[in-house]
Amino acid sequence: MLRKFDKNWQIPLHDSGEVERMTRQLNVPVALAQLLCARKLTPEEGRRFLSSSFSEVEPPTALFGCEKAAELILQGIDNNESFVIYGDYDVDGMSATVVLYRIITALGGKVNYYIPSRHDDGYGLHNHTVENLAQQGYNWLVTVDCGIRSLEEVALANRLGLKTIVTDHHPPLESGELPPALAVVHPAIPLNGKCTPELSGSAVAFKLAWQLCCAKMKSANVGDRLRNILLELLGIATLGIVADVVPLIGDNRILTANGLKYLRNRAPIGIMALLQGLSLHEQPLSAENISYKIAPTLNAAGRVGDPNKAVELLLSIQPPKAQSLVSLMLEWNSKRKNLEQEISRQAEELVKEQYLSEDDNPFLVLAGQGWHEGVLGIVASRMVERFHRPTIILSIPNSDDSEKPCSGSARSVEGFDVAAALAHCSDILTRHGGHKMAAGLSVREQDIDAFRQKINEYAKEHKAELSTDEPEYVDAEVPLSALTMETLLAMEAMEPFGKENPKPTFMATNVGLASAPRLLNSYGGVQFDFYQNGVTVKGVAFQHPSWASEFVNTGSQSFDIVFQPSINRFAGRTSVQLRLLDWQSRE
């Protein structure tokens, strides 16, 4: 019985001359040179990529508005004026808040912070929050991770006597109009014809902190005290870079590589307490630890608790205080998980009732009474994973606030622009906004059916974009003999991995099995001994227990495998291990 790959794997064409040049110029193993070529880097770019040296980061003066903002903030500090940092309730916004709060404090300024509430305020600046802050008597309002489209709110702040600086990384208005702030710091606005559009909000804040130190010391050499503070803030900013899923290339990647290095050696007290609470303190911290463990835990505070407490944790300097805040974070995170599971279960029921019988509806619109608004986005993502269709999850308000429209979160599949689909239905919606893969909306309960119908008509017209057979890429085909420990150690210089810098993925063809695959445990792990031309390498597959017997049932002696190689470090020993992603049998 023949088995084909589950996925449509594509291998980019390699120019052997280019690979040879890369191998020679950088003095790296061939497999690593193939990777760098597959990632479309020139030898010079490859060298910078592998070195990840902090000196390769663009200086803060290259960031639009950064010098001006730093100058203004230093003036404010000199005049003994007070600042409020206006952040966001996600990890990027929280870490950006901490970065500016800490640096202004360190420079002797009076500063506080305000994190809007996801539930009561919603994302970004609002007239009522601006009025509140003006009333509290602050002189300066500095936004992080928000504000670039808040023209009206910034104008209000101006009228109320709040001097405003906007720092953000979200796309500016299509018209190019900027908020009327005293300074706008934004990576997508070109300065001298150059920009670095993909920086996270926390990376923008970090660059402003860096520039503040340079301007204060009137030198690129900021001295030991400020340098140590900046290193700590780089560690904090790294949380935001990884959590916001910005591309991990260029500045974002170098900042993250250096920030992770710092956190591994000298995590600040709050982060150390969190690492312990999540049992991550005994291994080297990775970008994946941040994506899958740390960020969801801190984000839970913004979803179902109080994001101010997460900021407090990142700022804490006393272990007992930090530990009690970590307990709170863990409690909120398990509340978030429970809500997510319960609502996902109800949403799946709705799909079974409403959709599988009429599967010509390619767009899932699912609504439930009183569903917690803090988890709608994650539930939508789960439904996309489960049913491979773009999904909107709507929360119908409980009857006591019947005037309130239902708010919802949309998540899409690769290739289908969900923001455009919502814009097409704008006449039915009371609010909508977002981007291709994720968006938010609100709609009145009585309009949900009409909306479901209209967005499905739109999705049917754009059916081609809903194809599930999107190609996936392997970096190269390699012989198993190329995957030596030396090569894998050299490949570690490509870390940290993330968006646009995925883990190296290879294909090997004509591979045999040295022994029958073994089921490892009840979680569905399967272990393999692959061999090819006299080389045997261990492999492991997760979540596919059936593969153990399927390999044998093909009756085939020879397979093509797609895998990610890694170094298995166990009990002081190291070995090469392949994580099997997909496979097919050959005749």
- Name the site residues for Mn ion (rule: CB under 5 A): 92, 145, 201, 244
Q: Enter the tokens of residue 125.
A: 């600046």
Cβ-closest position to Mn ion? 92
Question: Considering the complex, what minimum distance in angstroms separates the CB of residue 199 from Mn ion?
Answer: 10
Short-list 486, 493, 528, CA closest to 508: 528
Question: Considering the complex, what minimum distance in angstroms separates the CB of residue 136 from Mn ion?
Answer: 25
Which of 63, 421 has the CB closer to Mn ion? 63
Q: Enter the tokens of residue 287.
A: 């970008």
Which of 167, 456 has the CB closer to Mn ion? 167
Which of 87, 539 has the CB closer to Mn ion? 87
Biggest CA pair distance of the chain: 80
Question: Considering the complex, what minimum distance in angstroms separates the CB of residue 570 from Mn ion?
Answer: 37
| Residues across the chain | 587
Radius of gyration of the chain (CA): 26
Give the C-alpha separation, 458 to 401, whole Å: 31
Which of 244, 560 has the CB closer to Mn ion? 244
Which of 173, 356 has the CB closer to Mn ion? 173
Question: Considering the complex, what minimum distance in angstroms separates the CB of residue 197 from Mn ion?
Answer: 13
Which of 295, 511 has the CB closer to Mn ion? 295
Which of 179, 201 has the CB closer to Mn ion? 201
Q: 248 in helix, strand or coil?
A: coil
Give the C-alpha separation, 529 to 516, whole Å: 8
Question: Considering the complex, what minimum distance in angstroms separates the CB of residue 90 from Mn ion?
Answer: 7
Percent of the chain as helix, strand, coil, to the nearest 5: 45, 20, 35
Question: Considering the complex, what minimum distance in angstroms separates the CB of residue 99 from Mn ion?
Answer: 13
Q: 171 in helix, strand or coil?
A: coil
Taking each helix axis from N to C end, the angle separating 223-243 and 201-217, rounded to the nearest 10 degrees, works out to 170
Continuous segment of H or E residues that includes residue 312: helix 307-315
Question: Considering the complex, what minimum distance in angstroms separates the CB of residue 288 from Mn ion?
Answer: 19
DSSP result, 355-395: TGGGTT--SEEEEEET--GGGHHHHHHHHHHHH-S-EEEEE
